Amino acid sequence: MTGIHTRLSMAVGALLVVGATAACSGGSTTPPAVATPPPAASAAPSSAAAPATGAEPAPVTKVPAPAEPAQTGNPQRCTTAELAGSLGGGDAGAGSTFRALLLTNKGTRTCELRGYPGVSYVAGDDGHQVGPAAAMDGPRGGEVFIKPGQAVAAQLRLVNVLNYDQAACKPVPVRGLRVYPPGDTASLYIPMEGTGCSATPPGDQLSVQTVKPA
């Protein structure tokens, strides 16, 4: 009996060794499965995405164009370039001569003037001013509308400066008048021979009234 038990034990041990060897070989062993990563999460829709089918688009606010300035119907002021200056007939009296200073509209539109022209004597080839400019005489009038070809008149008083003290006046020959239409800084030249005070006389050598219809 002892021999039988000994052979059985040896047989069982041989079988265990064969099983262990088979278990250690990689010939029939299936590799472990690799875990598949979960799908990436979908990106959130951006604010610029198109609206869903059937959704109303946001209303577009239209900014109205600026309105054209209303036309007042009043003509604009006459510029020096649109005017021609001249002297009309006059009268003499009390040591002065009175002449009509005319400003004629030589342009193509109706324009307006209001107030006093600026007037002074000029002399020499350079047209330098002689003595003080004309003083404003009387109240300022309203707007005067001038159609093309028409004129306005401002009464001009020219004092006989030889009646002033010559030491105070210092009379010199003059060649004409420099005239600034009301509201303008460009001037006109009107030829006129005469005598003016190169110094400041005791009175006004020139005075001018507001423009009026001629």
DSSP for 41-60? PPPPPPTTSPPPTTPPPPPP
Q: Cα(186)–Cα(129) distance, rounded to whole angstroms? A: 15
Q: Is residue 152 part of a domain?
A: yes
Pick from 80, 89, 116, 103: nearest CA to 206: 116
Residue 213 half-sphere exposure, CB side, CA atoms within 13 Å?
Answer: 4
> For every one of its 214 residues, what pLDDT tens digit does the chain have, with 9 covering 90 and above?
444 444 445 544 444 444 444 444 444 444 444 444 444 444 444 444 444 445 555 555 555 554 444 445 456 999 999 999 999 988 888 899 999 999 999 999 999 999 999 999 999 999 999 999 999 999 999 999 999 999 999 999 999 999 999 999 999 999 999 999 999 999 999 999 999 999 999 999 999 999 999 9
For the chain, the domain total comes to 1
Confidence at residue 92, expressed as pLDDT on a 0 to 100 scale: 87
The residue range of the domain holding 201 is 80-213
- pTM for the whole structure: 0.65
Q: Which residues pair with 29 in a beta bridge?
A: none
For residue 161 the two structure tokens come to 């400066």
DSSP characters for 92-117? EETTEEEEEEEEEE-SSS-EEE-SPP
Q: Are strands 206-208 and 135-136 parallel, antiparallel or unpaired?
A: parallel
CATH of the domain at 91: 2.60.40
Residue 24: inside a domain, yes or no?
Answer: no
CA torsion angle for 108, 180, 196, 199 (degrees, to 10)?
Answer: -170
pLDDT of 21 reads: 41
3-state secondary structure of 79: coil
* Residue closest to 87 by CA, chosen among 103, 102, 105: 102
Answer yes or no: is 15 within a domain: no
Q: Is residue 209 part of a domain?
A: yes
pLDDT value for 93 = 83
91 within some domain: yes
Residue 20 lies in a domain: no
Query: Has residue 208 been placed in a domain?
Result: yes
Residue 53 lies in a domain: no
Report the pLDDT value the prediction gives residue 94, as an integer from 0 to 100.
82
The answer to whether 98 and 92 have CB atoms below 8 angstroms apart is: yes
| Dihedral Cα 131, 132, 133, 136, nearest 10 deg | -150
pLDDT at 48: 42
Pairwise CA distance, residues 148 & 142, whole Å: 19
Task: Report the largest interatomic distance among the alpha carbons of the chain, rounded to a whole angstrom.
Answer: 181
For residue 87, give the amino acid letter. L
